[in-house]
Amino acid sequence: MEEGQKTLSDGCAGSWNNQTGRTTSSGFIGPMSAVLVLDLLVVVGNSLVVTAVFTHAKLRRSTTNRFIVSLAVADLMVGLLVLPFSSANEVGYNYSYN
């Protein structure tokens, strides 16, 4: 093992670089692609809910569906604005603002 690198504690195949704060590609791509798929499912699913309610007049009449759209929009915003950053943080990406 080279100086400045250590293996990841969770058993991933990559190694952690202390200077950049990132894992090598072999330990980063697998977990990141898994959380990316989950993030895409959140965005697509909530977009379908909003689209279904707004395209069908019968669904727009119900007050309950308005609350469901409100929840879907809030969840869509979480999927677009929060999940990408928390997913990257979860798999070990270090944001350096220096």
pLDDT at 5: 44
- In the structure, what pLDDT confidence band is assigned to residue 15 with cuts at 50, 70 and 90? low
φ and ψ of 62, to 5 deg: -80, 135
Domain that holds residue 54: 5-90
In a domain, 48, yes or no: yes
Tens of pLDDT, residues 25-83:
556 777 888 888 999 999 999 999 999 999 999 999 999 999 999 999 999 999 999 99
**Beta carbons of 32 and 13 less than 8 angstroms apart:** no
**Beta carbons of 44 and 7 less than 8 angstroms apart:** no
For residue 54, list its beta bridge partners: none
In a domain, 44, yes or no: yes
Q: Which residue has the higher pLDDT, 21 or 45?
A: 45
Token pair in block for residue 78: 């979480």
The reported pTM is 0.66
In a domain, 98, yes or no: no
Query: Among residues 42, 43, 36, 46, which one has the least CA distance to residue 90?
Result: 36
Asked if residue 8 has pLDDT above 50, the reply is: no
Domains in the chain, number: 1
